[in-house]
Structure 1
Amino acid sequence: MRVLRLLSAAVFGLAMVMPAFASVDSRVLMLDDIRTQQHEIRIGVEERSGPYKDLSATERSELLTKQDRMLRTIEGKKSTDELNDQQKTEVFNTLEWIEAVVNNSDEDERMVCERRAILGSTRKERVCKTQSQWREEREAARNLMDSRGNCQDCRSN
């Protein structure tokens, strides 16, 4: 449970520090905290103990693979400001995925972030929603396009 609380704090902390950084000290500690927590999680996964004992072989393998990729992304970096926006989003999404697997959460409730262009601008913004919210948004857009394609009155205008 201690690891889960630390992981949750790291995810929350990363989400809070990504838009704006409060101080140099908190930034430096952030990546070190993530590394420490990921090391503790890896030990639990490899030993198949605690909250990791019920993970399937596939989940364990995927967790370790995602963890390795994320750790390579932050390797040699001391603070989150050394990551570009895409890397920050990738780290956040990976931490969210690991937390969802560890907590045996429903995949639909996992938070996922994307970088999206702002209309009329070259800038991008980070948009975060749950998996189910992203899916509902895609389905609504698809339904809207389908309904407009079948609209008789729309064609005459």
Structure 2
Amino acid sequence: MRAIRFVSAIVLGLALAAPAAFASVDSRVLMLDDIRTQQTEIRDGVEARTGRYKDLSTSQRNELLNKQARMLQTIEGKHSTEELNAQQKTEVFNTLEWIEAVVNNDDDERLVCERRPVLGSTRKERVCKTATQWREEREAARNMMDSRGACMDCKSN
């Protein structure tokens, strides 16, 4: 339970430290050494297959370790989130959220962020939604396109 609270605190810290993550940006900066320490603890548990990590499937275990390694490579040599660019912050945030979801066996509530262009501007903004919300949006768009296509077929007959 302590590890999950720690992950949640890190995720919240990243969200607050990342520019444009939310309407108001907190001036606090997350120290990446905390992430490294926490990820080492998780890696040890996953490799030992003990505690909350004992029920992970082989594919989940391998994916977790691979994502973790890529994230640690991204933050290597850096001390705080201020040293990461916007894309790196998004990647680190998404990886931490994914790890938390796998460990908690709750992938649908995992928060996923994307950087999207602002219409009429060259800037990008961060849009964060749960995995369920992203899936529902895609399904609604697909259904709308399908219903419009079916309606167009009706008019041509």
Return the TM-score normalized by structure 2. 0.88
- Aligned to 1:78, the other structure's residue is in SS state coil
Task: Give % identity.
Answer: 73
Quote the residue 1:43 is aligned against.
44
Report the CA distance between 1:80 and its aligned residue: 0.9
Partner Cα separation in structure 2 for residue 35 and residue 104 of structure 1: 22
Partner Cα separation in structure 2 for residue 84 and residue 137 of structure 1: 28
Runs of 4+ in 1 over 4 A off after TM superposition: none
The within-5 A match list for 1:7-156 is 7-19=7-19, 20=25, 22=27, 26-27=28-29, 30-105=31-106, 107-151=107-151
- Aligned to 1:150, the other structure's residue is in SS state helix
Partner Cα separation in structure 2 for residue 143 and residue 56 of structure 1: 34
- Aligned to 1:128, the other structure's residue is in SS state strand
- Corresponding letter in the other structure for 1:12: L
Report how many residues are paired: 151
- Corresponding letter in the other structure for 1:17: A
TM-align CA RMSD: 2.0
Partner Cα separation in structure 1 for residue 93 and residue 64 of structure 2: 14
List alignment gaps of at least 5 residues for structure 2.
20-24
Return the TM-score normalized by structure 1. 0.88
- Aligned to 2:88, the other structure's residue is in SS state helix
- Answer yes or no: is the 8 Å Cα contact 1:73–1:87 preserved in 2: yes
List alignment gaps of at least 5 residues for structure 1.
none
